[in-house]
Amino acid sequence: MQRILLIEDDEAISEMVRSYLVKESYEVETAFDGEAAEMIFRSSSSAFDLILLDLMLPKRSGTDILQTIRASSLVPVLIMSAKDSDVDKALGLGFGADDYITKPFSMIELAARVKAAIRRAGYASSSGKGNEPVPLLQKRVTLHGLTVDLDNFSAQKNGVEVKLTAKEFQILKLFLTHPGQVFTKAQIYGVVWADDYYGDENVINVHMRRLREKIEDDPSRPEFIKTLWGIGYKLGEPAH
């Protein structure tokens, strides 16, 4: 029997999902906040084959829990969230989630996604490897002389450490993990600040200027994050 950890703070939704998956022959353990989820994940005596994770959790956020999971495990993670936008999906998947389903969803669709995620990962109930520590490959991206370690949250420019604030690093990571994608200021704000955007361009402008001053050879002619006037920003092309 394949084991699922269901992390959802809404007890009604949790019970509905748990009951359906039990009928589908899964063993389901539940957590209702981020701290409880982490404790269950770290202390579980046997492996989970999949984790269903809500993003909006009390005590610790869903993205925090996802990062904790990915620090030691490759178990499939399926995000459940009421936030229905491409940026929210990109954020979740960029942190290492395997799939994303938007609330409200049908139980049939959820079950299909659960089955597909477990199958893709090659997990089985007898594997015993779902949440054992797994050494993950560090994600290093090099562009225009800047090397960014996405796992260790560090950056070097021509071999010299670049001291970035948390927000500056999140902005840089957003573009590095989505090359070719154009982000509006509202989308950047939604991802990095995790809040609704009310048209305060100054916040984005200041952070973008400071980031460019740290990573660009010539901040007035940026190579890393290009401005598309009237639209937004995108990652610059590698030098040829």
- Which range, 7-11, 124-128, 153-157, is most confident? 7-11
Rounded to an integer, what distance in angstroms lies between the CA atom of residue 42 and that of residue 132?
A: 9
Rounded to an integer, what distance in angstroms lies between the CA atom of residue 34 and that of residue 196?
A: 23
> What pLDDT was estimated at residue 14?
95
Please tell me which residue, 27 or 103, carries the higher pLDDT value. Answer: 27
Asked if residue 37 lies in contact with residue 19, where contact means CB atoms within 8 angstroms, the answer is: no
Question: Which residue reads 């669709």 in tokens?
Answer: 109
pLDDT exceeds 50 at position 182: yes
- Confidence band, pLDDT 50/70/90 cuts, at residue 45: low
Rounded to an integer, what distance in angstroms lies between the CA atom of residue 49 and that of residue 130?
A: 6
Q: Say what the pTM is.
A: 0.53
Helix (H) / strand (E) element for 94: namely helix 86-94
| Exposure b/e, 43-71, CB count within 10 A at least 16 = b | eeeebbbbbbbbbebeebebbebbebbbe
> What pLDDT was estimated at residue 196?
65
E strands, 35-76, in order: 50-54
Asked if residue 74 lies in contact with residue 118, where contact means CB atoms within 8 angstroms, the answer is: no
> What pLDDT was estimated at residue 87?
54
Angle (CA) 11-13-15 rounded to 5° is 65
pLDDT exceeds 90 at position 135: no
Count the residues in the chain: 240
pLDDT in tens, 217-229: 898 899 889 988 8
Question: Which residue reads 């600040």 in tokens?
Answer: 193
